[in-house]
Amino acid sequence: MTTARVHRLANGLTIAVEPMDGVETLAVGVYADVGSRSEAAGQGGLAHLVEHMVFKGAGARDARAIAEDIEDVGGSLNAWTARDHTVYHARLLAGDLALGVDMIADLVRAPKFDPDELEREKKVVLSELGEANDTPDDIVFDHLQSACYPGQAIGVPVLGDERTLATLTAGDLRRWTEVQYRPGSLVLAAAGKVDEDALLALAEARFGDMPAGVAPTAVAAAFGGGTHHDRRRFDQIHVAAAWPGTGHHDADLHALSLFSSAAGGGMSSRLFQQLREERGLAYSIYSWTQAYAETGLFGLYCAAEQPRAAEALALARVVLAQTADDLSEAELARAQAQAKAGWLMGLESVAARCDRLARDLQVHGRIVPVPETVAAIDAVTVAQARAAGAKAIGGAEALATVGGTLSAGSGKVAA
């Protein structure tokens, strides 16, 4: 059995490592505890644009060299931006740890941010934004986030929009990395066939001279609730609704997640069985949860034909209320089994192990032992799951649609 260990450099950078038996590869990444919710007003899309631009040139490498150097050894280099974190991540064979750390360090610490490259890359991001806008089952969740957190940075789409992207400059990007990518808010994590001593030496060499400091604390978010209707016509209406959920440290975190799984987490769930299997109201129907540091969401998504969308949403609300009233022991046990199996199966991947190390440290300040998480899932009772669900759907509702408009309360549809 492997054991994860944590180290810290003098400047505050955290290093987490988990050697794994029986593998020949490794995953290594730098995880920044900042994302799009840390953007200033009018700078929507900045964090994501930074993530794009670092691949256009960093350190001594231009964009072509970045691509060739990692692929020459059969590896991959990737990055992603979320509302509350940003990740620079590599998958490699075991002998290429030094290359992975070197390249990631350049991306984080030495991006070039060439102004001409920036203008070209904006066009790429605008194309990505256009693709998202043309995908109704994708963009509806951005609309929902805006409805849940109106006027707040956490409600702004990660990609930003055409107006905000046009105003961003290379100086804005450079200031962002200088202010937000501070060692006290970064985790360098690695899992797989990784030499711990080598990782520590590489961390000191590439990150040890960073001036100490942490990123500014993001403004606390508060669920507002509202509506956002995108009236463009599609064959179906895509509907997403959400209610106040649980934050990372809420005592009901697992209870609400298990309620969501029983209500709409799979083919055996109530929403799937009643709306799709029994009545044929929707092809896609599910519920979900999203936790942030101080807030969270419990949500519902369905896609239905225009004439039946209102009926589908109305019935979905009824099903959620019934589940909160009479969730059974068997349904909870099934949800617990699904939660544990999905999580534990995922941890057999070196990339998932690497992600877990960093996110546990950023969210909880420690690496949570696997048995502790399993025990917390098993400890949830039917009464707790019911109560968590009832509390969520008893709160204010936010509603977003693409393809038509729906009343947040009545379920009536308007063209």
**Residues classed as catalytic:** 51
Neighbours of 64 (CB within 10 A): 9
Alpha-carbon separation of residue 302 from 241, 410, 411 (angstroms): 9, 16, 13
Alpha carbon distance 12, 143 (integer Å): 37
Alpha helices in 81-135 (DSSP H): 97-109, 115-133
Neighbours of 148 (CB within 10 A): 32
Contact indicator for 88, 30 with CB cutoff of 8 Å: yes
Contact indicator for 228, 388 with CB cutoff of 8 Å: no
Tokens of 32: 């920044």
> Which DSSP category does 347 fall into?
T
What torsion, rounded to 10 degrees, do the Cα atoms 125, 128, 132, 133 define?
70
> Which DSSP category does 167 fall into?
H
Strands 61-62 and 76-81: unpaired
Tokens of 258: 């298990």
Alpha carbon distance 148, 145 (integer Å): 5
Contact indicator for 260, 175 with CB cutoff of 8 Å: no
Look up residue 255 and give its amino acid: A
Contact indicator for 70, 107 with CB cutoff of 8 Å: no
Strands 398-402 and 236-244: antiparallel
Look up residue 118 and give its amino acid: L
